[in-house]
């Protein structure tokens, strides 16, 4: 049976939030992927690469898996009634409702995290509670049909967890091996608890404005 996956794409999306799970889902032999936005005009990700939506919010189908990536462009969507309404409609019939990184904030703004366990990027993790969510410090968190991935690179892990939920662990392991996904980071700085304190402070300073804007909007 065909599994339809719908990603929301938008100006300022974090490329890897989309590309990681997209690569995983595209390996499903019975998968069908849609990229939704308000128009079919290309949108620029936060790094500048352009992404071409395949359908619009109004014209696209209801999907089995709804996935909301994150990125700096998530901010204006938190107060966008058209986008929030679309997320709610898709979530009402989807088999799985999911997010990567700060895409979880949009799920929260759409009222989908209240009383649910969830995760997001470490810099904004505490903001989940403002939506009534139960913040969990894990790379991938599943609560029923809600699956949230943490920071940017967690999108790959999240994708494998979802494939296992859909098709079993063996199917996920086949994809993992085909991609030779066996991360060995060159530095132990991928989490704030592991990174040197001065590095953590630099990243905090660089994201102060973005975090303050999100706090105001939430």
* Antiparallel, parallel or unpaired: β 96-100 and 65-68: parallel
Catalytic pick among 45, 67, 79, 101: 101
Q: Find tokens 């999240």 and name the residue.
A: 158
Q: How far apart are CA 152 and CA 104, in angstroms?
A: 12
Sign of CA dihedral 160, 199, 11, 98: positive
Cβ atoms of 67 and 5 closer than 8 Å: yes
Catalytic annotation present for 101: yes
Helix/strand/coil percentages in the chain, nearest 5:
40, 20, 40
What residues are annotated to the active site?
101
């Amino acid at each position: 049976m065909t599994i339809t996956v719908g990603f929301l794409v938008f100006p300022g999306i974090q490329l890897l939030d989309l590309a990681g799970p997209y690569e995983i889902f595209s390996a499903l032999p019975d998968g069908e992927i849609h990229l939704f936005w308000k128009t079919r005009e290309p949108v620029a990700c936060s790094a500048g690469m352009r992404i071409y939506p395949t359908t619009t919010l109004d014209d696209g189908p209801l999907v089995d898996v709804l996935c909301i990536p994150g990125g700096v462009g998530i901010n204006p969507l938190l107060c966008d009634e058209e986008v929030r309404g679309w997320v709610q409609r898709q979530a009402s019939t989807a088999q799985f409702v999911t997010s990567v990184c700060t895409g979880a904030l949009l799920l929260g703004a759409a009222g989908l995290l209240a009383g649910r366990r969830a995760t997001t990027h470490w810099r904004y993790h505490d903001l989940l509670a403002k939506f009534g969510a139960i913040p969990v410090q894990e790379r991938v968190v599943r609560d029923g049909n809600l699956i949230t991935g943490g920071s940017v690179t967690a999108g790959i892990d999240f994708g494998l967890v979802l494939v296992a939920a859909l098709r079993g662990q063996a199917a996920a392991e086949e994809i993992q091996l085909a991609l030779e996904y066996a991360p060995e980071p060159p530095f132990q700085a991928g989490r704030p608890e592991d990174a040197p304190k001065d590095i953590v402070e630099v990243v905090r300073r660089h994201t102060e404005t973005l975090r303050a804007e999100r706090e105001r909007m939430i």
